[in-house]
Chain A
Amino acid sequence: MKRRTALRNIGLVTGGLLLMPSCNFSPDRVPIVLNKLQITTDEEILLESIVDTILPETDTPGGVALKVQNFIWIQIDDCASPEQQASFLSGLRSFNPLVREWYYDDFVSLDAEKRLEILSSLLEAEDTPKPVYDFLNTTKHTSVWGYKNTEYYLTKLMPYQLVPGAFSYRTITINPNEKINTNA
C-alpha cells in the first residue's frame, strides 16, 4: 500500500476526532503587519498551525509561543525575492486544499498527532506537488533557523554571550560528558 493511501485511511478513522490546537482563533487577534505580502488571518492561522506541528510545545516552549511564525513571515516579506514570495504563497494556498482532498479535513482542525503525520508524509512522499513540497521545506528550514535565533534558544538551550570577555578564545580538551553549546 502506498504511504499516502495508508495515511488517507488513518484519516478516515481519526479525522473526525478534534483536539483543540494551540492556535489562537479568537476574532480579536491582531494581524501581523507586513510590507509587501497580502495575507489573510486564515493564512496566518494556517502557518501558525504548521509551525506548531514542526516545533510543538513539549517540556520546552514551542515555536508558536516563541513567535517563530512571525520570523517566517518577515523573512518571506522582506528578504525573499518576488519569485520566492510567489512560490511560498502559492504553496501555502494549495496546501490546505491538498490536505482536504487527501485527508478530508482542514489542517488546522486536525489533532497534533495527525498534523505531524501529514507533514512528515508530505515532506517524504515523492508525489507531493512541488509547490506544496517547496513551501513546507522552506517553512521547516526557516522555522529551525528562527527557533535557533530566539531569545529562549540563545539563553536557555545554547547560551550566547554578547560580551564573552577578554581572552575567551582558547583550545580545550573535550569532556565527553559535557553538553555541547554550539554558541560557546
Chain B
Amino acid sequence: MPSFNIDSTKANSYDAIVIGSGMSGGWAAKEFAEKGLKTLVLERGREVKHIENYPTTNMMPWELKHGNRVPYDLKKENPIAAKCYNFMEDSQHFFTKDKEQPYIQEKPFDWIRGYQTGGKSLLWARQTQRIGDLDFEGPARDGFAVDWPIRYKDLAPWYSYVEKFVGISGEYDGLDTLPDGEFLKSMGLNGTEKYFRDVVAKKYNNQRHVIYGRCAHITENKDIFIQQGRAMCQTRDLCRRGCPFGGYFSSNSSTLPWAQKTGNLTMRHNAVVHSIIYDDTKEKATGVKVIDAHSKETVEYFAPVIFVNASAFNSNMILLNSKSNRFPNGLGNDNGLLGKYVAFHNYRVSVNAQYEGNLEETTVGRRPTSGYIPRFRNVYKQETDFLRGYAAGFGASRRIEQSSEGLGADLKKNLTKPTYGNWNVGSHMMGETIPKEESTLSLDPEKTDQYGIPQLRINLDYDDNDRKMIKDYIEQFTEMFEAAGFKNISINDVTDKAPGLDIHEMGGVRMGHDPKTSLLNKWNQLHACKNVYVTDGACMTSTATQNPSLTYMALTARACDHAIKESKKGNI
C-alpha cells in the first residue's frame, strides 16, 4: 500500500463508497444516504445536473441546427457510439465518445457507454419487466451456466420497493412468464395492437400474449413522486434529451437528488476508478484508487463497504485490475472465472409488415412505450432445438403518406395534403443468450488507456443457439403476422450487427451458490471479499429476456439492506 498520512485518510474516509452513478449506483447512493451512511459516489464522467444540464431538452425541432442529424465529423470520430439508435444531434452529448476509452474487439462488439452523472439512465429505453422463476430456474433446468442463488420470492419485495419509487406504468396481466408489479395507469395499446393481441390469444390458445410494455414513466400523481420533484410523463417522447418533468426515471431526476437531500452524499465527478484497494492483513477491501480525469492525479478513498456499479463491463475491468498479493488475478478471482460467462441480448432481427384493416382508426400523440410479447418458447419444458427463447417488442402505427412530388406551388400543396395509408406493424426480437466460459473479458497485457488503465479485451459472439433462435423467431412471427392477415411481411436480419447495441451486456462476475463456480453470493457480495458488492449487470448469472435495469435496481436495494445489516452485526 502506498504511504499516506493519517489526516488525508480520514478526510477521504466514508461509510460507503459507490462506484458509478447510473441506474444501480444511484440506488445504492439513495439507500445508503437515506439510512444515514456517509456515502461517496465516484463518477468517472462529467457532472450532468437534472434539467440544468439537459441542453436540448426544450428545443423545438427547428432549433436543432442539423435537423437532429449527426454531423459527419462527429460520426466519423465515433464509429462505435454513432451506431446506437439513440445517438442523435439532440442526445449525442450523453454518449461517451470512442476515444475516451479504447478497447480491443477480439470479436466485433459495440460497447455503448454513458459516462456522466446518471450514466445510461438518461438514455435507457425505460422498459421495466420483472424476471420470474421461469427465468431464475432456467440455468438449473437447462444445464447451462450455474444455478441462480436466488428465486423470485427473494427479489419480489425488492421489485415492489423499487417500483413504487421509480413509477412504473403497466397493466396487471397475470402471467407466469412475466410477474406483475406495482403499476400506475397504462398509456394503452392502440386498436391495431389490441386486434393482434386477440388474434394471437385465439390462435395459440392463450399461450402467447401481446401486452402493454411496462415502462418507467409516471402516469399518476402520487406523493412519493412529488417529494422527488417529479411530475407526470407529458408524452413528449424526447426522453433521450433528459426530461425536465422527471417524467421517466433516471438517477439524475430521482435517486441522486434524493440522496443529496439527506446531506449524506458526496459526489465526486471525473473520478476514474483504477482499482479497489485490498488489505492483506485486514483481509478485506479498504478503499478505492481513483485517477482524476483532468489532472491525472491519483487519489485514494476509504470505506468499510464498497459497491461496484460501474456498468457491467467496467465493473469487470475494475475487479480484474484490482490486484493484490491475496488476489493476483483480480479481486475475488480465486476460481479464475472473473470476466468469463459474459452474455448479451440478441437484438439482431425484426419482422415488419403492413395491416390493411382497422382503417377507420388512427392514433394521435406520442407514446414512449409499445407492446411487449413475453417469452413463449421453452417456457415449461424444452420444446425446440435451441435453449431458452426470446421476448419481442410489438407496435403498430398508422402510416401517413405525404407526397413530395412536383415542384413549386404543386409541391407545396402536396406537402400540406397528407393521406392515411395502411398500418405499419413491427416486432423486434429480444433473445436470451447463453453465458459460456469462452465468452470472456480480459485486460490487455500491454495496451493502456489515457489513464494508464489496461484496455479491455472483449471476446463475445453469436453462437448456433442464437442462430437457431433467430430462425425460429422469424418463422413464428411470420406465422403470427399471417394469422392476423398482415401483408408485405419483411424480415430484417442485420447479420453484420455486432453484439453490444442491445446495451444489455451482462455477467462476468456472476452470482451463484458455490465459490468454486461463481464470484458473488446470493447477496451480491464477492465470496472471497465480503465487503465488496457488485449489483450491476456484471452480477447476472443468466440474461433472461427481460430488459434488465429494473432487476439491477431491485438487486441493489436488496444488497444495500444486507450490507447495512451485516455492518451492524460487525460481519463486514
Say which one of A3-11, A39-47, A145-153 lies at the interface with B.
A145-153
In whole angstroms, what is the CA distance A140 to B61 when docked?
A: 20
**A residues 127-184 in Cβ contact with B at 8 Å:** 140-141, 144-151, 153-154, 157-158, 160, 162-174, 180, 182, 184
Determine whether the beta carbon of B70 is less than 8 Å from that of A79: yes
**Given A169-B366, A171-B361, A174-B361: A163 and B67 interface contact (C-beta under 8 Å):** no
A116 within 8 A of B: yes
In whole angstroms, what is the CA distance A71 to B191 when docked?
A: 38
B402 within 8 A of A: yes
Return chain A residues, CB-CB under 8 Å to B402.
Answer: 182
In whole angstroms, what is the CA distance A144 to B412 when docked?
A: 9
**B residues 404-437 in Cβ contact with A at 8 Å:** 404, 407-409, 411-412, 415-416, 418-420
In whole angstroms, what is the CA distance A119 to B406 when docked?
A: 10
Determine whether the beta carbon of A173 is less than 8 Å from that of B187: no
A90 within 8 A of B: no
Determine whether the beta carbon of B361 is less than 8 Å from that of A79: no
**Given A160-B61, A169-B365: A78 and B407 interface contact (C-beta under 8 Å):** no
Return chain B residues, CB-CB under 8 Å to A81.
Answer: 72
B35 within 8 A of A: no
Return chain B residues, CB-CB under 8 Å to A120.
Answer: 407
B235 within 8 A of A: yes
**Given A120-B407, A144-B411, A169-B187: A74 and B235 interface contact (C-beta under 8 Å):** no
**Shortest CB distance A137–B (Å):** 11
**A residues 38-74 in Cβ contact with B at 8 Å:** 53-56, 58, 60, 71, 74
**Shortest CB distance A102–B (Å):** 18
In whole angstroms, what is the CA distance A178 to B232 when docked?
A: 30
Determine whether the beta carbon of A180 is less than 8 Å from that of B363: no
A75 within 8 A of B: yes
Determine whether the beta carbon of B361 is less than 8 Å from that of A172: yes
**Shortest CB distance B363–A (Å):** 5
Return chain B residues, CB-CB under 8 Å to A167.
Answer: 185, 187, 219, 235, 365
Determine whether the beta carbon of A171 is less than 8 Å from that of B362: yes
A123 within 8 A of B: yes
Determine whether the beta carbon of A163 is less than 8 Å from that of B404: no
Q: Mark A13-41, 1 if CB is under 8 A from B, else 0.
A: 00000000000000000000000000000
Determine whether the beta carbon of A56 is less than 8 Å from that of B362: no
Q: How many residues of A contact B (CB 8 A)?
A: 48
B83 within 8 A of A: no
B58 within 8 A of A: yes
Q: How many residues of B contact A (CB 8 A)?
A: 46
Return chain B residues, CB-CB under 8 Å to A125.
Answer: none
A12 within 8 A of B: no
A75, A79, A145, A158 pick with most chain B CB within 10 angstroms: A79
Interface of A: prevailing SS:
mixed
Among candidates B58, B235, B404, B418, residue contacting A164 with C-beta atoms closer than 8 Å: B235
Determine whether the beta carbon of B412 is less than 8 Å from that of A154: no
B483 within 8 A of A: no
Determine whether the beta carbon of A166 is less than 8 Å from that of B234: yes
**Given A160-B60, A180-B400: A79 and B418 interface contact (C-beta under 8 Å):** no
**Shortest CB distance A115–B (Å):** 9
Determine whether the beta carbon of B418 is less than 8 Å from that of A182: yes
Determine whether the beta carbon of B67 is less than 8 Å from that of A71: yes
Return chain B residues, CB-CB under 8 Å to A164.
Answer: 234-236, 365-366
Q: Mark B347-370, 1 if CB is under 8 A from A, else 0.
A: 000000000000111111111000
Determine whether the beta carbon of B365 is less than 8 Å from that of A78: no
**Given A145-B67, A168-B364, A170-B188: A116 and B234 interface contact (C-beta under 8 Å):** no
B99 within 8 A of A: no
Determine whether the beta carbon of A172 is less than 8 Å from that of B411: no
Determine whether the beta carbon of B61 is less than 8 Å from that of A154: yes
Determine whether the beta carbon of B415 is less than 8 Å from that of A144: yes
**Shortest CB distance B397–A (Å):** 11
Among candidates A79, A116, A165, A182, residue contacting B235 with C-beta atoms closer than 8 Å: A165
Determine whether the beta carbon of A78 is less than 8 Å from that of B412: no
In whole angstroms, what is the CA distance A54 to B406 when docked?
A: 9
Q: Mark B202-233, 1 if CB is under 8 A from A, else 0.
A: 00000000000000000100000000000011
B71 within 8 A of A: yes
A86 within 8 A of B: no
Determine whether the beta carbon of B407 is less than 8 Å from that of A75: no
In whole angstroms, what is the CA distance A127 to B556 when docked?
A: 67
Determine whether the beta carbon of B409 is less than 8 Å from that of A154: no
Return chain A residues, CB-CB under 8 Å to B234.
Answer: 163-166, 168
10 interchain pairs, CB-CB under 8 A: A149-B61, A151-B60, A160-B60, A162-B238, A165-B234, A167-B187, A169-B188, A180-B419, A180-B420, A182-B418
Spell out A's residues near B (CB within 8 Å).
Answer: 53-56, 58, 60, 71, 74-75, 78-81, 116, 119-120, 123, 140-141, 144-151, 153-154, 157-158, 160, 162-174, 180, 182, 184
What 10 pairs between A and B have smallest CB-CB spacing? Answer: A168-B365, A169-B365, A169-B367, A78-B71, A166-B232, A168-B235, A171-B190, A171-B191, A180-B418, A184-B364
